[in-house]
Structure 1
Amino acid sequence: MDTHLLAAALPALGWAAHTSLLTHRLTTARRDPLTGLHTRDGFTTRADRITRRHPDAAVLLVDLDDFKAVNDTHGHAAGDAVITATAHRLTRWTGAHGITARLGGDEFATALTSLTPTTGLAALREALHRPVAHHGRWIDTSASLGICHLTDLPAPTLTDALAAADAAMYADKGHGRRNNH
């Protein structure tokens, strides 16, 4: 091989390897290591696209009730099991109709292309209230939900939808934990 060609190819190979590494780091930075779900940054990018393209889109926020008590009573590994189960249940419910993310701690978000009665919001609520198995024990779980339909907003933006869903979620918490289904 010509040494001039090799000298020219080496920087290109170096840049290709560097680009691949940066792409991998960016991808993993946008994924939650425990659940594999998108993080807030990854969610915001994709959810914004959904809300701009689908006028009947909906945003859903989920917050686990009494999650600190799970960690305090059963340990952090049990808390991780509850977080992972919640992520799985939300992902299965969302399917190919949107994106689900773990925003942090015990808070999750979903942006759906539409939220209809056939989407089964009652089924989601029931799934999120099922106990989670961990080391031969059952851990009771419950979650508060906040939903915002873009059609209910004067300015249908992701920011406004998240704010409205957050307010609805806290109103749901106010109706009594473990009793809101």
Structure 2
Amino acid sequence: MSWRRFTDGLFRFLAVKGWKDGTCKIVLILAIIMLTQMAFTSAFLGNLPERTLYYALCALFVGGPWVALFFWISSYQVALQQKLSRLSRKDGLTGMNNRRTFFDLAQRSEIRAAGGVVLMIDADNFKSINDTHGHAAGDECLKAIAYRITRNLRDVDVRGRLGGEEFAVYLNCVNLAQAKAIAARLLTPIPYSLRDYDSTLTVTLSIGGVVATAEDHIDDLLSHADLALFQAKQSGKA
């Protein structure tokens, strides 16, 4: 076991998971402090009279605040690490997997072994939305697209925002007919609202897909799906 794995495991153990867990851990550490103090005193000062209560109170009032502070710092550090890990895997605007996470998940052996269909998804005329209504409207549009995609997929499907208005989906263990049925639900106009206006706009998507096998690499699949997406754009979009 590496030192890094040991320290990570130690911090996860020390992180307080509720008041009962925190109380048990504080009592455990205080007991260790008390026993250590008793052993130290006995070793260097000889056999002293029984002072169990003294040692217990000493451990509680002297060591207690420091133990509580240590647990609080450990819990804060673990929570911060978890937050940073989550932010590094997710797209900040839509909450979907970011590009790196999508590639990592889509390339996993358990996903690849089942086969499926890879979809490349692009918002139609997205530049005009930003140019006409501003980037805030573009952000609302992207969030609406992400919601539509997520709502129509299963937990076993992998989805992500690759960048800009481009999204990708790995439909796990589906055939072409099933993929077309799912894509059809995504192709209906998607409404989104503008915060500063009492109006609702809509956006459509263009989609290109490719059947995936266990032997295909995700980079090659996305490349082929991107070509199909280009054909969809050339054929009239949506």
Q: Which residue of 2 aligns with 1:30?
A: 89
Which residue in the other structure is 1:116 paired with?
175
Residues 1:169 and 2:225 are matched in the alignment: no
Identity of aligned residues (%): 31
Aligned residues: 175
Q: Does 1:53 align with 2:104?
A: no
- State the SS of the aligned residue for 2:128: helix
The equivalences for 1:45-124 within 5 A come to 45-49=104-108, 51-54=111-114, 56-116=115-175, 119=178, 121-122=180-181, 124=183
Cα distance in 2, alignment partners of residues 87 and 47 from structure 1: 18
Task: Determine the structure 1 residue equivalent to 2:11.
Answer: none
Counterpart pick for 1:160 among 217, 220, 233: 220
1:139 is aligned to 201
1:89 Cα offset (Å): 0.8
**Greater Rg over alpha carbons, structure:** 2
| TM-aligned CA deviation for residue 39 of structure 1 | 0.3
Measure, in 2, the Cα distance between the counterparts of 1:15 and 1:134.
Answer: 43
One-letter amino acid matched to 1:149: V
121-130 or 168-177: bigger deviation: 121-130
Provide, for residues 73-114 of structure 1, a one-character-per-residue CA deviation record: whole Å limited to 9, x for no partner: 122222112111110111111122302111111010111113
Alignment of 1:10-25 (within 5 A): 14=73, 17-25=76-84
Q: CA deviation at 1:40?
A: 0.7
- Report the RMSD for the aligned CA atoms in angstroms: 2.7
Do 2:98 and 2:160's aligned partners in 1 also have CA atoms closer than 8 Å? yes
Normalising by structure 1, we get a TM-score of 0.80
Q: 1:112 to 1:122 in 2, by over 3 A?
A: closer
Q: Which has the higher contact order (CA 8 A, sep 6+)?
A: 1
Please list every run of 5 or more consecutive structure 2 residues that lacks an aligned counterpart in the other structure. Answer: 1-29, 31-58
| Higher helix proportion (structure 1 or 2) | 2
